[in-house]
Amino acid sequence: MQARVHVSLKPSVLDPQGKTICSALNELGHRAIQDVRQGKYFEIQIADGVSEEEARALLETVAHEVLANPVIEEYRVDLTTGEKS
For residue 71, state whether it binds a second copy (rule: CB under 8 A).
Answer: no
Pick from 20, 43, 60, 70 the residue near a second copy by CB under 8 A: 43
Pick from 13, 14, 66, 72 the residue near a second copy by CB under 8 A: 66
In the bound complex, what is the minimum distance in angstroms from residue 28's beta carbon to a second copy?
Answer: 7
Nearest-Å Rg of the Cα atoms of the chain is: 16
- The C-alpha atoms of residue 77 and residue 16 are separated, in whole angstroms, by 25
User: Of residues 15-34, which lie at the interface with a second copy (CB under 8 A)?
Assistant: 18, 21, 24-25, 28, 30-34
What one-letter code names the amino acid at 69?
Answer: N
51 burial type by CB count under 10 A (0-12 exposed, 13-18 middle, 19+ buried):
exposed
Work out the angle at residue 70's Cα, subtended by the Cα atoms of residues 55 and 15, and round it to the nearest 5 degrees. Answer: 120
What one-letter code names the amino acid at 21?
Answer: I
For residue 14, state whether it binds a second copy (rule: CB under 8 A).
Answer: no
Residues that bind a second copy (CB under 8 A): 6, 8, 18, 21, 24-25, 28, 30-47, 50, 54-55, 58, 61-62, 66-67
